[in-house]
Amino acid sequence: MTDTKMTKRRLRSQDWFDNRDHVDMAAIYLERFMNYGITPEELRSGKPVIGIAQSGSDLTPCNRHHVDLARRVRDGIRDAGGIPIEFPTHPIFENCKRPTAALDRNLAYLGLVEILYGYPLDGVVLTTGCDKTTPSALMAASTVDIPAIVLSGGPMLDGWHDGDLVGSGTVIWRSRRKLAAGAIDEEEFLQAAMDSAPSIGHCNTMGTASTMNALAEALGMSLTGCAAIPAAYRERGQIAYRTGRRAVELVLEDIRPSHILTRQAFLNAIRVNSAIGGSTNAQPHLMAMAKHAGVALEPDDWQRYGYDIPLLADVQPAGRFLGERFHRAGGVPAIMRELLGAGKLDGSCPTVTGRTMAQNLEGRAASDREAIRSYDAPLKERAGFLVLKGNLFDFAIMKTSVISEEFRQRYLSEPGREGIFEGRAAVFDGSEDYHARINDPALGIDERTILVIRGAGPLGWPGSAEVVNMQPPDHLLRRGVTSLPTIGDGRQSGTADSPSILNASPESAAGGGLAWLRTGDIIRIDLEHGRCDMLVAEEEIEKRKADGIPAVPADATPWQRLYRRTVTQLSDGAVIDGAADFRRIAETPPRHNH
């Protein structure tokens, strides 16, 4: 890049640093940057100022290696003629943030919007990894609409325990069933979990972290092949460098998120999510990202465009392998290449590379047909989300790629009633209630029981919690019954292998149908017609409403109160009500501060 090319278009940062109409303000903006050694010549040169949105810290171990990767990003920015400025983002660590990391996605979004809008940045590298770091970053990038590119951190290396592959998260859900059944002790439980996390990086399964970074690539917001490179591989540092270089070029070419995040790009992402066996958390996150991008994405689009897509990635929890094998097989580009060849992908979508998606995918065929199947020989024919509705909720989803043959035979294969199941409900108000009573003999839980949890949505928890993948009581686990049908207004870990009905909207705390359900009621689940209903007379439901909505915990922090007052339902993305009114806000420079 030459300085001549860089000065063709006046950059946003020049309104701060090189403003001839307000020299006094330029002096204020420049003066304090000098105290760590940067020069006024750099900042006034008209070279693009590129922010590095640093999501790595000791509080976010899944993203912590971005602290080191940022050096390579800086190198790329400098070599392309830009000025790097690194800044922290709000930490979001899925495993440890209580009451749930989902509470902080919108908070991180707000913080990043204010940074990108209020500071002299021409473009930004969005460092992502752990579940909610990706959607919060892309939501903010859409709101502000300065040139942006995603650098994911990559998954951990494959985990091994006693000679077997153990995937992060997935091993927890499987081991807790073994622990309850008496097959392992607590030390074995802990050791298996520790063995699943052998290196830097986020989940090595196709959990929410890997899913959301894959979808960032599918949307066209990261360099081709970025999402699946393991965090510890040398290629991760190499793509960090190339991402830094490309960030500068995006500014010079004026390629912004609004040019890339179209409806067709989001439909591509829905299809990719099905093909990789992606997390159910993709639904609210992708809905939120679309809303902030001004893209009309409907809840039913998940079934209309994603349900018939086959499962191509043989990766836990829907398959056998982990992140390293998936990457070596070709990763996200190989999956998308299969979809493109089958006519299931819009290859004309623009991307941050400056090329179309179809051009990015040239020569990207899978190299390992065990880990990534061909479109014509998939693991499962239909792997997308089923969208359900009924008198319990207006919207919920079920991840079909994790329906095991044993589960299908037990619950969905009655002759003449295939895909239909009726069972007695056992209702729990939050996870504390579930853990306290799941083994209570008075509940009479058996193989025909449907476990229901409520008070777990955005308003109820607050923030929506990953608690719907409830395991059966111990006496059933000891008999080999490892899963029961489960329903809830919360979410489920993307690493879980339970075919739950979840993300129910409206939630119980908002007066949804789950609020009026009682233990002992019969629920009919009809997957063929997308229905889920309690078989209770309308008059009885109206009488129950007099009891009021089941209680939820009080606000514990100021942000929890603000969150509850502003959040929408999971069907809508659980966004801040009204925030999507703000788009492309960088087009109007902010007022001066003195």
Q: Are the CB atoms for 378 and 310 separated by under 8 Å?
A: yes
CA distance 496 to 164: 18
CA distance 415 to 398: 22
Residue 489: per-residue pLDDT: 98
Asked whether the predicted pLDDT for residue 7 surpasses 50, the reply is no
Using a 10 angstrom Cβ sphere, with 0-12 exposed, 13-18 middle and 19 or more buried, the burial of residue 450 is buried
DSSP string, 374-421: -TTS-SBS--SEEEEBSSS-SEEEEEGGG--HHHHHHHS--TT-TTEE
Percent above pLDDT 90 for the chain: 93
Q: Which residues pair with 51 in a beta bridge?
A: 85, 124
pLDDT tens, residue by residue, 58-70: 999 999 999 999 9
Query: What confidence tier does 3 reach under pLDDT thresholds 50, 70, 90?
Result: very low
pTM given for the model: 0.96
CA distance 214 to 61: 20
Residue 497: per-residue pLDDT: 86
Q: Which residue has the tokens 């489960």?
A: 486
Q: Are the CB atoms for 328 and 293 separated by under 8 Å?
A: no
Cα angle 178, 180, 184 (rounded to 5 degrees) comes to 45
Look at residues 286, 230, 251, 188 and name the one whose alpha carbon lies nearest to residue 574: 286
Q: Which residue has the higher pLDDT, 275 or 498?
A: 275
Query: What confidence tier does 4 reach under pLDDT thresholds 50, 70, 90?
Result: very low
CA distance 398 to 453: 15
pLDDT tens, residue by residue, 15-49: 999 988 999 999 999 999 999 999 999 999 999 99
Asked whether the predicted pLDDT for residue 223 surpasses 70, the reply is yes
CA distance 486 to 449: 9
Q: Which residue has the tokens 């908070």?
A: 107
Q: What residues have CB less than 8 Å from 365, skipping those under 6 apart? A: 330, 334, 337
Look at residues 106, 81, 109, 84 and name the one whose alpha carbon lies nearest to residue 6: 81
pLDDT tens, residue by residue, 327-340: 999 999 999 999 99
CA distance 358 to 141: 24
Residue 5: per-residue pLDDT: 42
pLDDT tens, residue by residue, 521-542: 999 999 999 999 999 999 999 9
pLDDT tens, residue by residue, 121-135: 999 999 999 999 999
Give the CA distances from residue 372 to residues 229, 338, 375, 379, 384, in Å, rounded to whole numbers and listed in that order: 15, 9, 9, 9, 17
pLDDT tens, residue by residue, 574-594: 999 999 999 999 999 999 999
Q: Are the CB atoms for 471 and 477 separated by under 8 Å?
A: yes
What mean pLDDT is reported for the chain? 96
What tokens appear for 494 in the block? 């993307």
Asked whether the predicted pLDDT for residue 1 surpasses 70, the reply is no
Average pLDDT of the segment spanning 283-311: 96
Using a 10 angstrom Cβ sphere, with 0-12 exposed, 13-18 middle and 19 or more buried, the burial of residue 363 is exposed
